[in-house]
Amino acid sequence: MNAKQMFAGVGLYVVTALLAAATLAGPARFEARTSGAESLSLRGSAEFGAVADGVESGRFVLTLGPESPMGAVVFTWPNGKRPEAGVYELSDDDSAGVRALVVTGSPTAPRGAFRARSGTVAITSSREETIQGQFVLEATGYGANDAGDEDRWLEVQGSFTARPGGR
């Protein structure tokens, strides 16, 4: 995937996250730390919901930090259903399972985009009104200042409590 395609993908995820952003019932937060290509402390809101794609039933998206100035993590389940409690392997292939994208920087000024190559997201509680869990992932991608180098590594580890996004 070239840099132009990845930024288009980032744009899609950011738009999806912003459209899903709305008032949340109670505290919905995430915290994460990155190492590798960038060392950051990420914090912000956390929300989830199904996103229709116009062709199929859509995807289920868990968005951590949709409006965070430091970055966001977006998990996508291709089947469109809220995940049950359990451990999910991350992959960069839709047919193999859950995908994750890490965007560093703010929604209006992204600094980098990284696709998870491996890792897990562990859902410890999954109810209609809340999803809780932790994640660890290794991703590759690039920074906005060096879009030609798409092999920069980023490791991310964090936890979340998410609420449904707006409808």
pLDDT digits (tens, 9 = 90+) for 9-61: 555 454 444 444 443 345 899 999 999 999 999 999 999 998 876 666 688 99
pLDDT at 41: 96
Q: How far apart are CA 43 and CA 103, in angstroms?
A: 13
> How many CA atoms within 13 Å lie on the side-chain side of 80?
8
Return the pLDDT at 52.
74
| 121 contacts 38 by C-beta, under 8 angstroms | no
Q: Residue 159 has which token pair?
A: 């936890």
In this structure, how many other beta carbons lie within 10 angstroms of the beta carbon of residue 3? Answer: 16
Q: How confident is the model at residue 2 (pLDDT cuts 50, 70, 90)?
A: low
Q: Can you give the pLDDT at residue 22?
A: 40
Q: Which residues pair with 103 in a beta bridge?
A: 72, 113
| CB-count burial class (<10 Å; 0-12, 13-18, 19+) for 84 | exposed
Q: Where are the domains of the chain?
A: 3-164
Encoded tokens for 45: 């809101």
| Tokens, residue 97 | 């399972």
DSSP reduced 3-state for 18: helix
Identity of the amino acid at 76: T
State pLDDT tens for residues 79-138.
Answer: 889 999 999 999 888 677 899 999 999 989 999 999 999 999 999 999 999 999 999 999
Q: How many CB atoms lie within 10 A of CB 23?
A: 7
Q: Is the pLDDT of residue 8 over 90?
A: no
